[in-house]
């Protein structure tokens, strides 16, 4: 993924983390004295991703000030639909970037740098989704059905007996020639399309059997949805 683009989806408020997000974007909450966003940007840089973009919405001015203070060339995009649409609208805001080599990440998740680097090294040409085996899904897991290394279906309501993996929220495009963007256009154009999670794009492509599953067998990552997730990260000593 060297010289590739990273698109971090950070437009939402994160109401489940209130009152921490009462006046700041979720991605600016500090974990171990460092904003979630900074954890992500530093990990991406260490993994060789050269061009980071952040899609913001809620308390956009605070996000802009934070990125300006970093002074590292990170670009900021605005999603004007963040309050009335789901995460697919943030992907739409970055639509022009969706070709060649790119990676899309949820803006509320911390990853170890070498987790990203190892996963990127396994990505073939086309679209890939990072997944982890899970026996007992947690609340709000984005479940994934995988067969022979290929993603067959993705969604929060899949039966756990069928979907034995969960998404890490990392979608990678390698030398993509517009497949992901075309699927985005198809999904968002449907009735109610703006209310979809962006994983619906992967679900659309998966119907063709062309989404590679990058299986991650490690726990040095965490999605920060609730205060107890912060405590869980600290308890791991990572």
Q: What is the pLDDT of residues 2-18, one digit of tens each?
A: 678 999 999 998 888 88
pTM score, two decimals? 0.94
Q: What's residue 53's pLDDT?
A: 98
Structural domain total, the chain: 1
Contacts of 50 (CB under 8 A, 6+ apart): 2, 3, 4
Tell me what the mean pLDDT of segment 87-101 comes to: 96
CA-to-CA separations, 201 to 14, 45, 181, in angstroms, rounded: 22, 26, 9
138 band by pLDDT with thresholds 50, 70 and 90? confident
Q: What's residue 197's pLDDT?
A: 94
- The tens digit of pLDDT for each residue in 195-231 reads 999 999 999 999 999 999 999 998 889 888 888 878 7
- The tens digit of pLDDT for each residue in 28-79 reads 999 988 999 999 999 999 999 989 999 999 999 999 999 999 999 999 999 9
Tell me what the mean pLDDT of segment 227-238 comes to: 70
Q: What's residue 235's pLDDT?
A: 63
Domain carrying residue 85: 5-236
Tell me what the mean pLDDT of segment 177-189 comes to: 97
Tell me what the mean pLDDT of segment 144-149 comes to: 96
Exposure string (b/e) for 180-201, b if CB count within 10 Å is 16 or more? bbebbeebbeeeebbebbbbbb
Q: What's residue 5's pLDDT?
A: 95
Q: CATH code at 34?
A: 3.90.550.10
Instruction: Assess whether pLDDT exceeds 60 at residue 237.
Output: no
Distance CA 207, CA 145 (A): 12
Residue 122 burial (CB count, 10 A) = 14
Instruction: Assess whether pLDDT exceeds 90 at residue 149.
Output: yes
Q: What's residue 1's pLDDT?
A: 67
């Amino acid at each position: 993924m060297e010289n590739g683009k990273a698109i971090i989806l950070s437009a939402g408020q994160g109401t489940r983390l209130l009152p921490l997000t009462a006046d700041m974007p979720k991605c600016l909450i500090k974990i171990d004295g460092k904003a979630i966003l900074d954890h992500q940007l530093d990990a991406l840089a260490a993994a060789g991703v050269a061009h980071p973009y952040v899609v913001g919405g809620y308390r956009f001015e605070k996000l802009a000030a934070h990125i300006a203070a970093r002074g590292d060339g990170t670009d900021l995009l605005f999603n004007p639909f963040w309050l009335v649409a789901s995460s697919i609208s943030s992907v739409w805001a970055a639509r022009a970037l969706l070709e060649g080599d790119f990676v899309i990440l949820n803006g509320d998740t911390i990853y170890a740098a070498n987790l990203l680097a190892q996963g990127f090294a396994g990505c073939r040409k086309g679209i890939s989704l990072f997944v982890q085996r899970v026996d007992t899904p947690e609340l709000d897991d984005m479940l994934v059905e995988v067969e022979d290394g290929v993603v067959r279906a993705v969604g929060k309501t899949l039966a756990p007996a069928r979907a034995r993996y969960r998404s890490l929220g990392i979608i990678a495009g390698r030398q993509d020639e517009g497949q992901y963007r075309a699927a985005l256009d198809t999904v968002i154009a449907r009735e109610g399309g703006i209310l979809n999670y962006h994983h619906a794009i992967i679900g659309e492509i998966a119907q063709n059997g062309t989404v590679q599953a990058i299986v991650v067998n490690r726990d040095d990552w965490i999605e920060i949805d609730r205060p107890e997730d912060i405590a869980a990260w600290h308890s791991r000593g990572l």
